[in-house]
Amino acid sequence: MEALLSAVVFGWENHMRNHTKETTPAAENGRLPANYPRVADATLQVVREKVLAGERLNQADGLSLFKTPDLVGLGQLADYVRKKRHQDKAYYIYNQHLNYTNVCRNRCRFCAFARDEHQDGSFALSLEQIEANLLERIDEPIKELHIVGGLNPDLDFAYFIELLRLVKKIRPAATIKAFTPVEIDYLHRITGYSIQEVIAQLKAAGLAMMPGGGAEVMSDRIQAALFPEKIGAARWLEIMEAVHQAGISSNATVLYGHIETAAEKVDHLLQIRELQDRTGGFSAFIPLAFHSQNTQLADLPATTAFDDLKTIAAARLLLDNFDHIKAYWVMIGESLAQVALSFGADDLDGTIIEEKITHMAGARSAKGLSRPAMRSLIRAAGFRPVERDSFYNPITANC
């Protein structure tokens, strides 16, 4: 806790030193200590040299990041890279989540959201219900609809096409960020269309971007233990590659804080980095902190602030070809998300309005945040709030 507090204090001091020169990367600002970023752990020295030289980190470096006790040093390294890319900007988006069904055949052991078809609490929204849901907030300048759901055998391909067309009709100016490779694979299986054809038809109906879920941790061991029914790493990567080739950008995530090892996390990050080298189609990376309540892993403790900040900082340092690292406030809470802005994150995600997946698993954060609340969180952390669209273009109107 002491180290965490000093990290917070250092982040603040560091920001204050740079606040007046928005476009100057922190470490190139003459008012910073000459040895910034400072690391205390000798194993991080190697990483520090590479970071300063702009060299790519390898698997062994990645392990040093996850194993170091020097959270503050790790945070400074990540902050150095973050400030070079984004200075004191911290992004957020006015978005809305929509979960069209919680019926899911996969029944992943970490999931508290999914239900069997006729189980109490199961739902599948009709198009009329979706329309009513969207119209409730039609006066709000929402910029992105984040739409995901389970693998529900009652929903056919036409439902997905109609859903996209409907959302596009109601919200022509918003970006539809929807479905994961898990749903795309499912649509391929129920239609017999190729993956490319599924993507092309969804795109024609309004799909403009894809969220990053579904990969969890790319490891055969973890897949067998936690999500044996769901597509594995190779298929997730193959589908994301096809999505990028179709001109649709996506995000990527990691679900951490369950049974994974540091080596598996590093390996996951490096597999994503490798695909990004080939396609350039990833926009942001989002570490997702596991919440165990109401899941088959309910005896697992919550992630700690150390785990959360380390994962964000490690992602920033290993994913040198990603522009954006999100501190997803829903999962780590609003306060730690603020701190994460000094540990490599440059984006707090969005207003969300009503988050279900993590709250069903015990998340204690708010279910949504207003734009003024997002902006004050960012300002209070010493950063400059930038409202963005799905593609990180700044929004200047309606702010």
Q: Which residues bind ligand V47 (CB under 6 A)?
A: 110-112, 211-214, 216, 251, 253, 255, 286, 288, 290-291, 295, 328, 349, 357-358, 361
Closest CB to ligand V47 among residues 27, 289: 289
Residue nearest ligand V47, Cβ-based: 213
Rounded to a whole number of angstroms, the minimum distance from the CB of residue 53 to ligand V47 is: 31
Residue 251 tokens read as: 């995000």
Closest CB to ligand V47 among residues 14, 365: 365
Rounded to a whole number of angstroms, the minimum distance from the CB of residue 298 to ligand V47 is: 10
DSSP annotation string for 271-314: HHHHHHHHH--EEEEEEEE---TTSTTTTSPPPPHHHHHHHHHH
Closest CB to ligand V47 among residues 286, 317: 286
Closest CB to ligand V47 among residues 295, 351: 295
CA gap 268, 99 in Å, rounded: 26
Closest CB to ligand V47 among residues 78, 361: 361
Closest CB to ligand V47 among residues 222, 313: 222
10 Å Cβ neighbour count for 276?
A: 19
Rounded to a whole number of angstroms, the minimum distance from the CB of residue 64 to ligand V47 is: 26
Which residues lie closer than 8 Å to 230 by C-beta, 6 or more apart? Answer: 106, 108, 182, 214, 216, 223
Rounded to a whole number of angstroms, the minimum distance from the CB of residue 32 to ligand V47 is: 32
- For residue 280, with 0-12 CB atoms within 10 Å meaning exposed, 13-18 middle and 19 or more buried, which class applies? exposed
Closest CB to ligand V47 among residues 111, 231: 111
Closest CB to ligand V47 among residues 72, 325: 325
Rounded to a whole number of angstroms, the minimum distance from the CB of residue 294 to ligand V47 is: 8
Rounded to a whole number of angstroms, the minimum distance from the CB of residue 295 to ligand V47 is: 5
Residue 57 tokens read as: 């980190």
Asked if 61 and 47 count as a contact pair (C-beta separation under 8 A), the reply is yes
DSSP annotation string for 305-371: HHHHHHHHHHHHHH-TT-SEEB--HHHH-HHHHHHHTTTT--EEEE--S---TTGGGT--S-S---H
DSSP annotation string for 11-78: HHHHHHHHTT-TTS-GGGSTTS-TTPSP--SHHHHHHHHHHHHTPPP-HHHHHHHHH-S-HHHHHHHH
Q: Phi first, then psi: what are they for 29, rounded to 5°?
A: -85, 120
Rounded to a whole number of angstroms, the minimum distance from the CB of residue 347 to ligand V47 is: 9
Rounded to a whole number of angstroms, the minimum distance from the CB of residue 352 to ligand V47 is: 8
